[in-house]
């Protein structure tokens, strides 16, 4: 039996050091991407079949090798329908078209407006169709994250239950059919994990940013590559989106509370993240997987939603949720959570799980999800016991070990230097191309000017040679053309 290839972050069984995290962008800009592949790594692995990660394309073999080595290509995707991902989606579609093995998309969403009616075409529609068609030629159905993405596919002409099925996010299904969340009790000494996204509404960011001022036992959980470079070595990554460093009420300075106090952790795999969250009383924030993984750990969570990415998943899994733009930034946490039913996800989980397993079965995927939640040790579990799982990484600003500080600064400097040199080389090539285009443009303008002068001279001569007896109308045409030239 051949192995399964998966488009994902590195497997928890793989040793991934800070250099690979940073240089190769192994987490595809967001460490939350470790969440939804985790159960697939675990439940698709058998005694004689492994699940091999392509590191989000960094280790993707050529199509011919994929056809030869693997039985299936599994794509647990994120909010990938949208202009931001159109180029990569087109590349993926072309790659999939060369595959002869089954290709299954296990959860994909989009970046849409919450109330988008999808009654007018979008610029990326053709790319989306090409990708969907390539996948459907190699599988039964596409699994979607939520109803909003379902409306988008319907607008493209695809039909629910025939072409696609809403299955939510695979993360929580790792637990099996039972989800248990521990009781919530508000008290001043609560242990709170909180998370933020730079694009979230300012009202929500202001509220979240105040949490460490009001509670001593807090942990900030950043997820972006730009956060990692700053946390690990105190440096900005030149390839990361600089937007976060312009946002108010976001921890973007080394003097902000999480860096100053050291109460922040960057997680590089789902097992350590889940284990850490078991010790917290509440998770809150604008990161969907920053709250789903604590939910997996049985910790009450509250998602502050904005945009379709958060809303369709929070709605589907019935995660405790509020709209981020409706948050009063001065409200107390006690008042904010007073009307929240933290056990709502438990009531719908079994139904969602059954739908997910049915989707896998329909796509003829061999799995062990029905054993989830039992005492049976899966092959993946046995393998995980044999490796040292990467512990969460704390900020350089909280270190006391000078050798560790020097090591981080040295690695950060080397990686940053390499990226800056590469970026300057790209800028140099761009400037050279711009100068070349400017020269071409000047040459075309000069040529146009010469042709215009030659035309005027030809018209002038034609007018001068026109016989006196020529009809006035013909002469007027020549005169008009000469004037317009």
Coil/strand/helix, residue 46: strand
Report the distance separating Cα 340 and Cα 314, nearest Å. Answer: 14
If phi > 0 it is left, if psi is from -120 to 50 it is alpha, else beta; for residue 142 that is beta
pLDDT on residue 239: 86
Beta-strand relationship, 70-75 and 301-305 = unpaired
**DSSP of 294-330:** HHHTT--EEEEE-HHHHHHHHHHTT--EEEGGG--TT
pLDDT single digits (tens) 173-195: 999 999 999 999 999 999 999 99
| Residue pair 286/306 in contact by the 8 Å Cβ criterion | yes
Report the distance separating Cα 164 and Cα 141, nearest Å. Answer: 5
- Categorize the per-residue pLDDT at 483 as very low, low, confident or very high, splitting at 50, 70 and 90: low
| Residue pair 2/49 in contact by the 8 Å Cβ criterion | yes
pLDDT over threshold 90, residue 484: no
pLDDT on residue 479: 65
| Residue pair 415/23 in contact by the 8 Å Cβ criterion | yes
Residue of 146, 10, 374, 283 lying closest to 291 (CA atoms): 283
| Residue pair 155/112 in contact by the 8 Å Cβ criterion | no
pLDDT on residue 452: 82
Residues with Cβ within 8 Å of 239's Cβ and at least 6 positions away in sequence, in order, are 25, 225, 419, 423
pLDDT single digits (tens) 58-80: 899 999 999 999 999 999 999 99
- Categorize the per-residue pLDDT at 474 as very low, low, confident or very high, splitting at 50, 70 and 90: low
Report the distance separating Cα 335 and Cα 425, nearest Å. Answer: 53
pLDDT on residue 11: 96
Please name the helix (run of DSSP H) or strand (run of DSSP E) that holds residue 271, with its range, or none: helix 270-277
- ∠ CA 16-19-21, nearest 5°, is 55
- ∠ CA 169-174-175, nearest 5°, is 115
pLDDT over threshold 70, residue 470: no
pLDDT over threshold 90, residue 472: no
Q: Tokens at residue 261, please? A: 């106090």
Output the average pLDDT for the chain.
93
pLDDT over threshold 90, residue 166: yes
pLDDT on residue 248: 95
pLDDT on residue 5: 98
Residue of 205, 220, 311 lying closest to 259 (CA atoms): 220
pLDDT over threshold 80, residue 468: no
- Categorize the per-residue pLDDT at 375 as very low, low, confident or very high, splitting at 50, 70 and 90: confident
pLDDT over threshold 80, residue 475: no
- Categorize the per-residue pLDDT at 270 as very low, low, confident or very high, splitting at 50, 70 and 90: very high
Percent of the chain with pLDDT over 70: 95
C-beta neighbour count of 61 within 10 angstroms: 14
Q: What integer is the mean pLDDT of 23-35?
A: 91
| Residue pair 396/231 in contact by the 8 Å Cβ criterion | yes
Q: What integer is the mean pLDDT of 446-457?
A: 83
pLDDT on residue 420: 87
pLDDT on residue 466: 62
| Residue pair 397/259 in contact by the 8 Å Cβ criterion | yes
Please report the beta strands in 185-250, taking only residues with DSSP state E, as ranges in sequence order.
Answer: 192-195, 218-220
pLDDT on residue 15: 86
Report the distance separating Cα 18 and Cα 261, nearest Å. Answer: 22
pLDDT over threshold 70, residue 482: no
More confident residue, 419 or 401: 401
Percent of the chain with pLDDT over 90: 79
pLDDT single digits (tens) 277-308: 999 999 999 999 999 999 999 999 999 999 99
Report the distance separating Cα 445 and Cα 408, nearest Å. Answer: 54
C-beta neighbour count of 384 within 10 angstroms: 18
Q: In what order do the strands lie in the sheet with 218-220?
A: 218-220, 192-195, 282-285, 301-305, 321-323
From the centroid of its chain, how far is CA 226? Answer: 14
pLDDT on residue 450: 87
| Residue pair 193/377 in contact by the 8 Å Cβ criterion | no
pLDDT single digits (tens) 190-220: 999 999 999 999 999 999 999 999 999 999 9
| Residue pair 351/301 in contact by the 8 Å Cβ criterion | no
pLDDT over threshold 90, residue 154: yes
| Residue pair 283/195 in contact by the 8 Å Cβ criterion | yes
């Amino acid at each position: 039996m051949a192995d399964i290839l998966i488009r994902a972050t590195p497997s928890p069984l793989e040793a991934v050091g800070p250099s690979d995290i940073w240089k190769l962008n192994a987490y595809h800009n967001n460490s939350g991407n470790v969440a939804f592949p985790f159960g697939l790594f675990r439940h698709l692995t058998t005694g004689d079949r492994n699940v091999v990660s392509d590191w989000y394309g960094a280790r993707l073999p050529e199509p011919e090798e994929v056809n030869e080595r693997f039985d299936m290509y599994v794509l647990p995707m994120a909010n990938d329908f949208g202009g931001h991902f159109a180029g990569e989606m087109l590349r993926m579609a072309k790659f999939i078209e060369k595959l002869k093995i089954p290709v299954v998309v296990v959860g994909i969403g989009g970046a849409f407006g919450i109330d988008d009616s999808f009654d007018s075409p979008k610029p990326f529609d053709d790319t989306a169709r090409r990708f969907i068609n390539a996948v459907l030629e190699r599988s039964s159905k596409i699994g979607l994250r939520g109803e909003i993405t379902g409306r988008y596919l319907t607008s493209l002409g695809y039909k629910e239950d025939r072409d696609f099925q809403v299955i939510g996010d695979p993360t929580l299904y790792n637990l099996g059919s039972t989800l248990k969340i521990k009781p919530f009790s508000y008290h001043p000494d609560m242990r709170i994990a909180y998370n933020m996204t730079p694009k979230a509404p300012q009202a929500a960011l202001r509220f979240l940013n105040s949490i460490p001022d009001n509670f001593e036992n807090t942990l900030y959980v950043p997820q972006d590559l730009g956060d990692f470079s700053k946390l690990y070595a105190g440096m900005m990554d030149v390839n990361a989106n600089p937007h976060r460093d312009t946002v108010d009420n976001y921890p973007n300075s080394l003097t902000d509370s999480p860096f100053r106090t050291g109460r922040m952790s960057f997680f590089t795999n789902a097992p350590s993240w889940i284990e850490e969250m078991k010790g917290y009383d509440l998770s809150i924030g604008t990161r969907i997987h920053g709250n789903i993984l604590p939910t997996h750990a049985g910790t009450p969570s509250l998602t502050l939603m904005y945009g379709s990415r958060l809303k369709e998943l929070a709605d589907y899994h019935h995660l405790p949720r509020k709209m981020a733009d409706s948050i009063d930034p001065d409200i107390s946490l006690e008042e904010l959570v007073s009307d929240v039913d933290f056990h709502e996800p438990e009531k719908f989980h079994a139904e969602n799980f059954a739908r997910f397993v049915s989707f896998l079965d329909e796509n003829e995927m061999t799995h062990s999800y029905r054993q989830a939640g039992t005492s049976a040790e899966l092959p993946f579990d046995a393998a995980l016991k044999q490796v040292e799982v990467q512990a969460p990484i704390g900020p350089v600003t909280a270190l006391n070990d000078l050798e560790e500080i020097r090591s981080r600064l040295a690695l950060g400097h080397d990686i940053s230097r390499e990226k800056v040199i590469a970026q300057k080389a790209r800028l140099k090539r761009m400037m050279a191309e711009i100068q070349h285009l400017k020269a071409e443009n000047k040459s075309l303008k000069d040529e146009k000017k010469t042709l215009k002068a030659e035309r005027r001279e030809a018209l002038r001569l034609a007018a001068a040679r026109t016989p006196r007896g020529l009809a006035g109308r013909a002469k007027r045409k020549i005169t008009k053309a000469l004037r317009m030239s």
